[in-house]
Amino acid sequence: MDVYLKKLEDELKLRKYSPKTIKAYTVCVENYLKAKRSNFEIVDVNFIKQYILSKINAGKSSQTTNQNLQAINFFCWNVLKYKGKIDIHFAKTPNKLPIILSRDEIQKILSEISNEKHKLMIVLAYSGGLRVSEIINLKIKDINLAELIIHIKGAKGNKDRITVFPEKLIIDVEKSIANKNSNDYFFTSERGGKLTERTAQKVFKNALRKSGIKKDATFHSLRHSFATHLLENGVDVRYVQELLGHANIRTTQIYTHAMNPAIKKIKSPF
């Protein structure tokens, strides 16, 4: 089994998949091979179908079952070099609206953060629509204060993109980067090196709890809120798509449902 998993890891690295995806795919395929027990080199579509059904019957989410199927497909086609068709459809994912924080709620969260570095991290994530992985990997050279832009490098799907930087933060950022090397991470831990995703998420979670806001918001809600507030300000959805780095416009359009101003103006007949 280890030989096949090593081949899988190598194939994923060659295609420049992110470390997170490599780990997730490896776990999925490892569990699949453990369930198969033997004849790893043989692709049994019916076994794969039954394996995916077992995930669904166990109450796993659509996202989890789909990731398992994606990982197994990749393994069969790229490691085992299977040329046949794996005729198994992906599970339909629920069309859930993202959790959006209002501008006032974001200000409440910020007011609960006493550490200036942590507060700047939350503000920057919101004001540029950054994922938690992008904020911790941000380097000083990635922020262009003259042009008010942030260059996100090697983001999801190993893509680069440009997003906006708020003019209000220029002085705070200049203070933060004084006497630092351009190759240094913008947000560093007390022990040196970049912050971990877990630390960044914990900062947000603690501030959310202290603020008394009852929404099931996460660090990623800052990115959702960034997109929604831009649309509310009249920014074209295609520009928002570019700032977020979405490959498909339909992914961005979900925010138009979240902020729908026409619905908000309707009063209940009660």
Q: What percentage of the chain exceeds 90 in pLDDT?
A: 79
Place of tokens 């198969």: 36
Strand partners for 151: 162
Active site residue 151: no
The number of beta carbons lying within 10 Å of the beta carbon of residue 222 is 26
Active site residue 229: no
Mean pLDDT of 45-60: 94
Active site residue 17: no
Residue 265 scores a pLDDT above 80 = no
Give the pLDDT score at 260: 66
Give the pLDDT score at 148: 96
Give the pLDDT score at 203: 97
- CATH 1.10.150.130 domain position(s) in the chain: 2-79
Q: What band does 217 get if pLDDT is binned at 50, 70 and 90?
A: very high
pLDDT in tens, 246-263: 989 988 988 887 776 666
Q: Which listed residue (17, 126, 185, 255) is catalytic?
A: 255
Q: Is domain 103-265 annotated with CATH 2.10.25.10?
A: no
Give the pLDDT score at 204: 98
Mean pLDDT of 48-61: 94
Q: Which residue has the higher pLDDT, 268 or 89?
A: 89
Q: Which CATH architecture does the domain made up of 2-79 adopt?
A: Orthogonal Bundle (1.10)
Q: Which residue has the higher pLDDT, 16 or 243?
A: 243
Q: Which listed residue (119, 223, 224, 229) is catalytic?
A: 223
- CATH 1.10.443.10 domain position(s) in the chain: 103-265
Q: Which listed residue (131, 194, 224, 229) is catalytic?
A: 131
HEC profile for the chain? Answer: CHHHHHHHHHHHHHCCCCHHHHHHHHHHHHHHHHHHCCCCCCCCHHHHHHHHHHHHHCCCCHHHHHHHHHHHHHHHHHHCCCCCCCCCCCCCCCCCCCCCCCHHHHHHHHHCCCCHHHHHHHHHHHHHCCCHHHHHCCEHHHEECCCCEEEECCCCCCCCEEEECCHHHHHHHHHHHCCCCCCCECCECCCCCECCHHHHHHHHHHHHHHHCCCCCCCCCHHHHHHHHHHHHCCCCHHHHHHHHCCCCHHHHHHHHHHHCHHHHHCCCCC
Q: Which listed residue (36, 60, 117, 220) is catalytic?
A: 220
Q: What are the b/e assignments for 38-70, b being 16+ CB within 10 Å?
A: eebeebeeeebeebbeebeeeebeeebbbbbbe
Active site residue 131: yes
Give the pLDDT score at 158: 76
Active site residue 255: yes
Q: Which residue has the higher pLDDT, 87 or 261?
A: 87
pLDDT in tens, 163-215: 999 999 999 999 999 988 999 999 998 887 889 999 999 999 999 999 999 99
Give the pLDDT score at 19: 87
Q: Which listed residue (7, 153, 156, 161) is catalytic?
A: 156
Q: What percentage of the chain exceeds 70 in pLDDT?
A: 98
pLDDT in tens, 96-147: 889 999 999 999 999 999 999 999 999 999 999 999 999 999 999 999 999 9
What average pLDDT does the chain have? Answer: 92
